[in-house]
Structure 1
Amino acid sequence: MKNAVRRTGGFRKAVTVKPLHVAAVLMFAASHAALAQQDAGAGSPAPASGEQVLPAVKVSSQSARDDTGQHLERDVSSGALGSRSQLDTPYSTTVVTGQELMDRQANKLGDVFAQDASVSDNSNPYNAWASYVTVRGMQLDWQNGFKIDGQPFNAYGITLPYEQLESVELLKGLSGFMYGFGSPGGVVNYVTRKPPVSGTPIRSVDVGYRSTAIWSEHLDLGGRVGPDNMFGYRFNATHEEGKTYNDGNVRRDAFSLAADARLTRDLTATFGALYQERHASGITTALSTALYDGTSLPGRISGGSSNLITPDQHLNTNLQLYTGGLHYNLNQDWTVSATYSFSKSTRDRNESTFYLLDPSGDYSDTRFQGKEGHMLSAWQVMAEGNVRTGPLQHQLVFGGAYQKQTNDYGANSFYGPIGVGNIHEPNTNRYDSSGFYTYRDSDITQKALFASDTIQLTQRWSVLGGVRYTNYEQHGYTVSGATASTYSQNGVLTPSVAVMFRLAPTTTLYASYVESLEPGRVVNEAYANGGELLKPLRSKQYEVGVKSDHDRWSATAALFRIERGAQYANSANVYVQDGESIFQGIEAGTDVRLGNNWTVGGDLMWIATHYEKGSTNDGNRVAGAPGFVAAAHVYYAVPYVPGLKIGADAKFTGNTPVRPSGDLNAPGYMLVNLGATYSTRIAGHGVSVRAAIDNLTNRRYWEYQYADYITPGEPRTLSLNARFDF
């Protein structure tokens, strides 16, 4: 892995007046609308004291609501909290549905969250940075920040088969209580397609095209068989191959299977498997500013330029995930479950890093070639239920988890300079060898117990308390297998507390606090202390927010502050832990249906960041955190052509510090995308045709990729897809 202003007081002083005004207005508007709706709902008098208020029954077209909007009624996986709707979760979350993934023709993780202002894109679909995004100014943890169906896997270099997903969920901020050790950026959970609930079969095939000459074919089969539809299955297969926009090549084969067996009325067994083999050659080179002596970046180049690739560079990845589980309903109030997962990911990587030297674009070309791999085994048992103690209703979750992660790195990897060049000219440097192998570099074991209680105090007020107790052990090894370093700590507590107030069945106000620990990383060989094992870092998060969901509109807003241990490369190119990084700001979004044909929405994030309590960068903005991001979208269902929907979205990302030293920024930029979907029936079969144009204006821009690293943004691309249900 390649690895503002000084704080003057407490939380109130750290956040400026304007964001607080915005939050207050949004919360007041949501509260006012919710109370007005409640008062006008049926013209009934207020319930007498002691009467139970039942949730309002809403009758609406689920299909119409489910393909747009914020999906606040949808369940989102929250690890040790179990599954709750976004409306009932006292943390900021985002859900992107499978329908939206298809309409956007997502090709990398940044595409998935293109309409979420809290997420900044640092990813590239054709190199090892495929899963890199920044959430609230913090990069997600590629070792602990990604799940598939709630199960852990290592995401470095992995582009998921988005066409095989039911949805993608994002839990923003700290996740220590919910999932254990992990960086405070958040957790992405990829939800694979599941067997149908009823016996109605699923049969579809689609063919896709992407610039400049990539073709794909995808098959989706699902159904139920056996007595009383006892057994369910869902099988997906994808093949993709062709020439990328920068004259590279890609070939991908992916398969996934989800199955369940209703063994009894209350006992269900589940099984899942995902396998993907992906080869990309001529991959885009990473650009480092570690040696750069300029105060502004070189002239922008297109991400479609072949100057940043050579035919010998490649990234070959393999991902395997296998899961199994048992779910048993003890009664109408209690459910117990046990799950197991095993994942394995490997990389064969030949990749250059261009160390930029001056504003004219000169660089020193340093090549890495070697193999890497990771394995994760995870067990979890959990019980969820409801009990009453006197006047109080409790929603209880408790359980235990075990996880072991092993990391294999190249024993004979090559890393060194192979030449020089200029980003505005073709690269003629070459290096390609063979015979690379790996050794066990490190392993991490986590054993945890967790419990939470959500207590319904009154008809409107509830409180949540949860804690995770973890025994953590981390080892580093030499090539010969000897133990080089050890870090262990027992009894690590990561608590979470929250207070929630229901203004109405459709509106929730909340305040929450959560802590988290992230594993100490093994320093990359690019730094002077390469191979050193760093200690885990503790983070804290404070958040106040509102969520409101209605038939024709929804809105969310959150005010947050995150305190995280800082780590970066100092002037001697030593990667150190020094002081703290502070992140505080506001995020807000809304989605509105206007009439029968229009849907509009917007999202924004304002964030102030700085380093403090350190020896080097105090007062500087935190690298990778843009000060302001805004996104907007509009969709129009054409009434004269039933089944035709067209749309556009735009996202502005403000200037982003590239280095912790604060002397170099990636300028702000705005991207505009267009899309259209046409659905109809031919001879009784569903037919859908989709088109999407990303970066409509072919904007050239520098994209922050990682601390000290940048990459040119992707050029204008065209995606087409035709699907047939049979």
Structure 2
Amino acid sequence: MKLKPISLALLTLGLPVASQAQTTNNELQEVEVQARQQGSYSSSAVQVGTFRDTAPIDVPLTVNSVTREVLDAQSATTLYGALRNTAGVTRAQLNGSTYDNIAIRGILVENRGNYRLNGSLPIINLVDVPLENKQQVEVLKGASSLYYGFIPPSGVVNLVTKRAGNKPVLSLSQSVNEYGAATTHLDWGRKFGENNNQGLRVNLVKGVEDIGVNNYSGDRELVSAAYDWKITDRLSFRFDIEHYEKSVSEQAAIALLPAVNGRITLPPVPDNKTNLAGEWQQYDANAQNYLARVDYVLNDSWGVLFEAGYAETTRDRNFSQFQNYDLNTGEGELRIFYSRDQQFDNTNYRGEFYGEVITGSITHNLSFGYTTNTRASNTPGVAGGQTIFSQNLYNPRTIEPQSVSFTGAYSAATIDDQGLYVFDRMQLSEQWQLLAGIRRGDYRTENLNVAADGTRTVRLYNAQETTPSLAVMYKPSQDVSLYASYVEGLEESGQAPANAANAFQLLDPAESEQREVGAKFKVGQNSLAQIAYFDIERASTFQDPNTNVFGLNGKAQFSGFEMAWTGELNKQLSIAASALLMDAELQNANNAATFGKVPNNTPEQTASLFAEYRLLNVPGLSLSGGLYYTGKRAVNDANQAFIGGYTVASLGARYSTVIGSTPTQFQLVVDNPTDKNYYSTAGNPYVGVGAPRVIKATVSVDL
């Protein structure tokens, strides 16, 4: 079912959120999600996995939160724009002109399972996920199979929506950039009903897109609503709905040349405004997400919750790669892959029974749950699904529009992931906690390919596995926690890319293991410092250059140190800093081409630092700046070439004042102020160029 934005907005007006959660004092009580008070770079709680409503210092894994205040200070509207503030995050395969394909610690964040809405619904990251209606973006690093089933151990990216708070909200903002892009955003929130027992938060966005790249144009929009209803003292209901769409020109990727004597020569980094594709090559996608949650408090110690959600994304795409080029003349081929009416949908249900039991001197905070998730995709066949044009890297030609038709062929895939889990957080003493969980999963996949003549090919896979997780935490004080954790997981190994000989095929699931030890400290006025050592072993994949088949390639190991520091150091200075130092290695001795090599697109060092300083002698004025470093990365698993490391800067200023009786804020942000040319991404088997300088101005008023 597809609903256009006006229909979605009208639907939400008649729908009735509050939630129940366990807190550290072991009492079951209501938790009201409100807009964060301005000025905080530090999150008081996360909403991801079995750690919902838990303070980050009490999570025995690396967890990073990018709060609304950080997003506003940076004027961030994309996932990568938010996640560049966390260690080990890089773009993968694509350069981000259409949507953000992301890897964490060198491991791809799977686009249909690792992105979650409000800790629950797996949304489909194949169209830019808007941030205007999000309160914070969270990353739970590493394996998370206990709560989320079969997903890669890169981490879960959780998007927490804004909700109506006690203070009414009516904000209107207008943003423009130097290339003519313009976006209007309305944010409205109110509580109403008997004793304000209902709340509604609505966000509307409409924009014209331009990122400064040649042959680029498009638009996007968002309509969202978050509804809360405290029906009785024991029963509450929450509902979220989003519709967003984006239609923009997609830049061509640069394919790798064949290796000569085991080495690949990369072309000089093109000017960052270059686009070898035609402006007509639109990436046209839209998404609908629906998520409902009911909480019921049984007594002072126990409660139940039920969640149901549905996510759908459809897209048309004219993806192109520049290939077979001459490095001296720039002459080569632009190969265009056409897809039409691709559809992806996720249906998700969760039931959970949670509460407290005391056995002797030990307090158990228990969760018993069942979850089922069904993911389906369909890709219709297109006549002449690929065309090739002559093109020049140094002097691009105009590519004329092409038309395509359907053949009757199609490929479809269905994933059914069910699981029963138990999680116990045991308070052994005032300082010691033991956390233990186990999941019994049932995973089934079906790949169906239907040729134009009706010939059907079906590939099935079924796995039933039990995966444990264990952690111990020691808190010598409320402001310090030390922990060690071990997590096993099962993951979907990946899906073959469009340019592979086995395009869109789902690979068999594989096991992963993660070990982590770390420490967290509350420091300064309101900030959290984290340091952790992690060791992850998981399956690797490989696109064979001889057969062009994408498949499994034994194990890979990722180990290293990760650090982060976010929050307010004092009333004037806020920071968001992170760093990663890692060793990564492919370990399949049967593949001599990759054995002992670094996985593709995996930097072994990353770092970020963003700081904002509020001037005391000019009330309302703040200045900010950021530096984002990514180390060198291999272009393929054979390490036949590397793209260089780079550092990109950002600059910003905000000024808040009152004009008449209207609170008003003026903001100026400059990303990549030096207009640096650099390769921003690699892998499967492409390189992509980073975005040009963007100067963005915003005016916001609170009405």
Task: Note whether the superposition's TM-score is higher than 0.5.
Answer: yes
Closer, same or farther: CA 554–529 of 1 in aligned 2, 3 Å: closer
Residue 364 of structure 1 deviates from its aligned partner by 2.6
Asked if structure 2 preserves the Cα contact closer than 8 Å seen for 1:328 and 1:337, the reply is yes
Closer, same or farther: CA 546–288 of 1 in aligned 2, 3 Å: same
Residue 69 of structure 1 deviates from its aligned partner by 4.0
Residue 527 of structure 1 deviates from its aligned partner by 2.1
Residue 482 of structure 1 deviates from its aligned partner by 4.3
Closer, same or farther: CA 123–640 of 1 in aligned 2, 3 Å: farther
Asked if structure 2 preserves the Cα contact closer than 8 Å seen for 1:548 and 1:554, the reply is yes
Does residue 328 in structure 1 map to residue 296 in structure 2? yes
Matching residue of 1:98: 68
Matching residue of 2:622: 645
Cα separation, 2, equivalents of 1:413 and 1:150: 41
Aligned pairs (5 A) from 1:656-667: 656-667=633-644
| 1:645-688 deviation line (CA, Å, top 9, x unaligned) | 11111011111111101111010111110011111223333211
Aligned pairs (5 A) from 1:427-438: 427-436=397-406
Picking from 209, 216, 220, the partner of 1:252 is 220
Asked if structure 1 preserves the Cα contact closer than 8 Å seen for 2:353 and 2:369, the reply is yes
Does residue 503 in structure 1 map to residue 476 in structure 2? yes
Matching residue of 2:445: 474
Cα separation, 2, equivalents of 1:172 and 1:498: 15
Closer, same or farther: CA 113–225 of 1 in aligned 2, 3 Å: same
Matching residue of 1:526: 499
- One-letter code aligned to 2:442: N
- One-letter code aligned to 1:560: F
Matching residue of 1:35: none
Asked if structure 1 preserves the Cα contact closer than 8 Å seen for 2:93 and 2:688, the reply is no
| 1:23-82 deviation line (CA, Å, top 9, x unaligned) | xxxxxxxxxxxxxxxxxxxxxxxxxxxxx999xxxxxxx9999645443xx221232444
Instruction: Say what the alpha-carbon RMSD is for the aligned residues.
Output: 2.5
- One-letter code aligned to 2:446: H
Asked if structure 2 preserves the Cα contact closer than 8 Å seen for 1:368 and 1:414, the reply is no
Does residue 168 in structure 1 map to residue 137 in structure 2? yes
Q: Identify unmatched segments of 5+ residues in structure 2.
A: 1-23, 27-33
Residue 463 of structure 1 deviates from its aligned partner by 0.8
Does residue 570 in structure 1 map to residue 544 in structure 2? yes
Does residue 464 in structure 1 map to residue 438 in structure 2? no
Residue 464 of structure 1 deviates from its aligned partner by 0.6
Picking from 407, 431, 441, the partner of 2:412 is 441
Asked if structure 2 preserves the Cα contact closer than 8 Å seen for 1:507 and 1:548, the reply is yes
Matching residue of 1:302: 271
Asked if structure 2 preserves the Cα contact closer than 8 Å seen for 1:131 and 1:159, the reply is yes
Closer, same or farther: CA 660–453 of 1 in aligned 2, 3 Å: same
Matching residue of 1:11: none
Matching residue of 1:559: 533
- One-letter code aligned to 1:565: A
Residue 411 of structure 1 deviates from its aligned partner by 2.1
Cα separation, 2, equivalents of 1:367 and 1:121: 22
Residue 613 of structure 1 deviates from its aligned partner by 2.7
Range 117-126 or range 566-575, more displaced: 117-126
Matching residue of 2:508: 535
Matching residue of 2:21: none
- One-letter code aligned to 1:146: Y
Asked if structure 1 preserves the Cα contact closer than 8 Å seen for 2:578 and 2:609, the reply is yes
Matching residue of 2:679: 702
Q: Secondary structure at the match of 1:679?
A: strand
Range 395-404 or range 238-247, more displaced: 238-247
Does residue 313 in structure 1 map to residue 288 in structure 2? no
Cα separation, 2, equivalents of 1:592 and 1:522: 38
Residue 238 of structure 1 deviates from its aligned partner by 0.5
Cα separation, 2, equivalents of 1:404 and 1:149: 18
Does residue 670 in structure 1 map to residue 647 in structure 2? yes
Asked if structure 1 preserves the Cα contact closer than 8 Å seen for 2:78 and 2:130, the reply is no
- One-letter code aligned to 1:545: G
Cα separation, 1, equivalents of 2:661 and 2:91: 41
Cα separation, 2, equivalents of 1:82 and 1:554: 18
Matching residue of 1:423: 393
Residue 258 of structure 1 deviates from its aligned partner by 0.8
Asked if structure 1 preserves the Cα contact closer than 8 Å seen for 2:344 and 2:377, the reply is yes
Asked if structure 1 preserves the Cα contact closer than 8 Å seen for 2:338 and 2:382, the reply is no
Residue 435 of structure 1 deviates from its aligned partner by 3.8
Residue 564 of structure 1 deviates from its aligned partner by 1.0
Q: Identify unmatched segments of 5+ residues in structure 1.
A: 1-51, 55-61
Does residue 550 in structure 1 map to residue 532 in structure 2? no
Residue 634 of structure 1 deviates from its aligned partner by 2.6
Matching residue of 1:195: 164
Aligned pairs (5 A) from 1:25-40: none
Does residue 630 in structure 1 map to residue 607 in structure 2? yes
Asked if structure 1 preserves the Cα contact closer than 8 Å seen for 2:369 and 2:422, the reply is yes
Cα separation, 2, equivalents of 1:604 and 1:544: 16
Cα separation, 2, equivalents of 1:108 and 1:417: 31
Cα separation, 2, equivalents of 1:404 and 1:236: 29
Q: Secondary structure at the match of 1:676?
A: strand
Asked if structure 2 preserves the Cα contact closer than 8 Å seen for 1:183 and 1:517, the reply is yes
Closer, same or farther: CA 304–525 of 1 in aligned 2, 3 Å: closer
Closer, same or farther: CA 410–126 of 1 in aligned 2, 3 Å: farther
Matching residue of 2:338: 369
Cα separation, 2, equivalents of 1:630 and 1:90: 22
- One-letter code aligned to 1:344: E
Closer, same or farther: CA 258–63 of 1 in aligned 2, 3 Å: closer
Cα separation, 2, equivalents of 1:148 and 1:550: 30
Asked if structure 2 preserves the Cα contact closer than 8 Å seen for 1:538 and 1:565, the reply is yes
| 1:519-571 deviation line (CA, Å, top 9, x unaligned) | 25443352234454421121111111111113424310010111111111123
Matching residue of 1:6: none
Closer, same or farther: CA 601–79 of 1 in aligned 2, 3 Å: closer
Matching residue of 1:683: 660
Range 324-333 or range 460-469, more displaced: 324-333
Range 355-364 or range 605-614, more displaced: 355-364
Closer, same or farther: CA 716–344 of 1 in aligned 2, 3 Å: same
Cα separation, 2, equivalents of 1:269 and 1:634: 38
Cα separation, 2, equivalents of 1:285 and 1:312: 12
Cα separation, 1, equivalents of 2:504 and 2:91: 28
Cα separation, 1, equivalents of 2:504 and 2:581: 36
Does residue 488 in structure 1 map to residue 465 in structure 2? no
Aligned pairs (5 A) from 1:205-216: 205-216=172-183
Asked if structure 2 preserves the Cα contact closer than 8 Å seen for 1:222 and 1:235, the reply is yes
- One-letter code aligned to 2:476: L
| 1:191-228 deviation line (CA, Å, top 9, x unaligned) | 121122x2x32111111112411111111111122221
Does residue 286 in structure 1 map to residue 253 in structure 2? yes
Does residue 722 in structure 1 map to residue 699 in structure 2? yes
| 1:87-139 deviation line (CA, Å, top 9, x unaligned) | 111111111112221221224322112222321234868645x1212211212
Residue 517 of structure 1 deviates from its aligned partner by 1.4
Does residue 277 in structure 1 map to residue 245 in structure 2? yes
Q: Secondary structure at the match of 1:411?
A: strand
Asked if structure 1 preserves the Cα contact closer than 8 Å seen for 2:36 and 2:135, the reply is no
How many residues of Structure 1 are paired with residues of Structure 2 in the alignment? Answer: 661
Matching residue of 1:15: none
Asked if structure 2 preserves the Cα contact closer than 8 Å seen for 1:367 and 1:414, the reply is no
